[in-house]
Amino acid sequence: MILLIDADSLIFASCYRHKENPDDNPHFENIEDSIAKFDEQFMKIVNDLEELYDIEKVITFNGSKGNFRKLMTKKYKANRKKQILPPLLHPMHQYVKDTYDSKFAFGIETDDLVARYWYNISKDFGRQNVMIVSIDKDYKQFPCLMYNYHWKHKEILDISDEQALFNFYSQMIEGDTADNVNYFKGKGKAFAKKYFVDCNTKYKYTKKLYELFKEKYKGKARQKYTECYNLLKLRTE
């Protein structure tokens, strides 16, 4: 098994410490503390999976520069502009890059780069021999093996082609609040399940969804559909 670990969320979490009092600083001040937390979490993930699989290789990914999606619309991730980032975030990204020989994404996002590696490895060695390790739901648009290590949702997913197809087109309706992508406010997964009930091919999903875009956006339907698709679809090539 080859593990593809998206370390961005792990790095972010490693910058935070447990607060004993509400007024305590939530961020670590000493990078050694962040490093210890990251290393412990990272190795726990690998060790847990080694109990279930014969791990041949671990490839780590973190960080990106030059996001093409932000050129498509100013709204993309605009909700994060006021977010206060942990002071050790950038040093920790550098630590992981230096220590774990991680892969860095240029012009795309970390999850795009992970998707490319998954696509090529699964094509060459089979989808059962590569696993994406992440808490990011965006990867569910692929028929992949995925390990969500979050303590509340810890599970290994074996996503089928049918599930992957629904997951992506459903997300185009649900949107992504974390990235400020929402073309149908008020419509969620329950609506998507009913709306796509007769869909089982990419053609049927596309046709059905485009009808929804035409209903809401009229003459701008094609523009909005294309924009939404490109914002949410991870790049495998």
Q: Which residue has the higher pLDDT, 180 or 156?
A: 156
Helix ranges, 196-236 (H): 202-217, 221-232
Nearest to 162 by CA among 205, 102, 220: 205
Handedness of CA 13, 177, 108, 139 (dihedral sign): positive
Give the tens place of pLDDT for each residue, 13-34: 999 998 778 878 899 999 999 9
Query: Model confidence over 218-227: pLDDT tens digits?
Result: 999 999 999 9
Section 133-153 average pLDDT = 95
Dihedral in degrees, nearest 10, Cα atoms 56, 145, 154, 4: 50
* pLDDT-above-70 percentage for the chain: 100
Closest CA to 120 of 236, 233, 6, 5: 236
Q: Tell me how far apart the alpha carbons of residues 164 and 19 are, in angstroms, rounded to a whole number.
A: 39
5 CB burial (10 A radius; 0-12, 13-18, 19+): buried
SS3 84: coil
Strand 130-133 with 2-6, pairing: parallel
What does the mean pLDDT of the chain come to?
A: 94
pLDDT mean over 63-67: 91
Q: What contacts 24+ positions apart, CB below 8 Å, involve 182-189?
A: 183/213, 183/216, 183/224, 183/228, 184/212, 184/216
- Which residues are 105's β-sheet partners? 64
CA distance 2 to 10: 19
| Selection from 51, 49, 47, 50 nearest residue 39 by Cα | 47
Task: Kindly give the residue spans of alpha helices, DSSP state H, lying in 101-220.
Answer: 110-125, 161-174, 189-195, 202-217
Model confidence at 152: pLDDT above 90 = no
- Residues 68-124 pLDDT 10s: 988 888 888 888 777 788 999 999 999 999 999 999 999 999 999 999 999 999 999
Dump pLDDT digits (tens) for 175-199: 998 888 899 999 999 999 999 999 9
- pTM of the predicted protein model: 0.93
